[in-house]
Copies of this chain bind each other. A is one copy, B any other.
Amino acid sequence: MLYFIVYDVADDDVRRRVAELLKDSGGTRVQYSAFTIELDSPHQLDILLQRIREVIGASKARVVAIPVCEADLRRAVTIIHRYELREEELLL
């Protein structure tokens, strides 16, 4: 199952570490603070969210994880206007 994960994290350093965790877990960055990630089971999502909680620690944060079925993903629309995501920029 593919999940769409979006996060608001107040602290810059913690936010960068959440992004690194999602990337290291196999996620694909689709927006500055949003990743898609393929997970085999709801249990894997629990493990990932627990890791995210550990990174967040006592920082202010809000994370939403929404499963996206293939039919919905096929109908997703992306508008890009002069804005390519560059990993080296995003992870600074």
Contacts and interface: CB of A to CB of B under 8 A. Distances in A.
20 contacts: A4-B4, A6-B6, A8-B31, A42-B75, A49-B77, A56-B79, A56-B81, A59-B81, A59-B82, A61-B80, A61-B82, A61-B83, A62-B79, A64-B76, A64-B77, A64-B79, A65-B77, A67-B72, A69-B69, A69-B72
Contacts of A66: 4, 68, 72-73, 75-76
Interface size class of A (residues with CB under 8 A): 35 or more
A13 B85 CA distance: 20
State the oligomeric state as a number of copies. Answer: 2
A69 B76 CA distance: 12
Interface of A: 4, 6-8, 10, 30-34, 42, 45, 49, 52-53, 56, 58-69, 71-73, 75-83, 85
